[in-house]
Chains A and B, each alone.
Chain A
């Protein structure tokens, strides 16, 4: 069974977006932009880890800090696993380190969102260039 070209295109965009969410930079990797993917993966992962190091993994709080958690979740689904373990509030987190930790982890998520959108756009551009749609 052959697929409609529009359907295939939509599937490619979805796959690129999903890969970018699963692993930061994964969308670019799929588009054979390896250098870009490595830079983005390293930077976003490091920023996220610095945030966790500063504020402890308690900065991921799906119960008490829902809004920052939404931003953190864009990093990767792995954040949900951390959130599952920290939802009981068993990890120390307070004051300035909490603030800075949430800022780092949230910003890492926002940067990943930028990369996901950019990778999807790049995939779309490549398709329109080759087919002329």
Chain B
């Protein structure tokens, strides 16, 4: 087994270091992308790359905007109830 293979396999045996800071919320982006890609792949009648990318980008954008608005509303609510 080559060193590269061992290195790749070892990366899957110990967890990454992820804190509880706001930066960790960025892990939402890959999962949002996955949901958008699979959803559009199942919903579109015919898949042409140009149209598919456009549809996926729009869906990722709308999910992200919705999440940001929800986070802001929750933040304001928490701020009012704790101040």
Interface residues of A (CB under 8 A from B): 35-36, 39-40, 43-44, 46-47, 50, 52-58, 91-94, 96-98, 100-101, 103-104, 107-108, 111, 114-115, 118
Contacts and interface: CB of A to CB of B under 8 A. Distances in A.
Contacts of A114: 38-39, 42
Interface in B34-74: 34-35, 37-39, 41-42, 47, 52
B17 to A, nearest CB: 8
Nearest to A107: B31
Interface of B: 11-20, 24, 27, 30-31, 34-35, 37-39, 41-42, 47, 52
Given A47-B31, A50-B30, A56-B13, A96 B38 contact: no
Contacts, number: 78
Contacts of A108: 34
A10 to B, nearest CB: 22
Interface of chain B: mostly helix, strand, loop or mixed:
helix
B42 A55 contact: no
A97 to B, nearest CB: 4
Interface of chain A: mostly helix, strand, loop or mixed:
helix
A69 B42 CA distance: 24
Contacts of A94: 15
A41 B15 CA distance: 24
Nearest to B19: A96
B38 A115 contact: yes
Given A39-B38, A39-B41, 10 more contacts: A39-B52, A40-B38, A40-B42, A43-B34, A46-B34, A50-B30, A54-B15, A57-B13, A96-B18, A108-B34
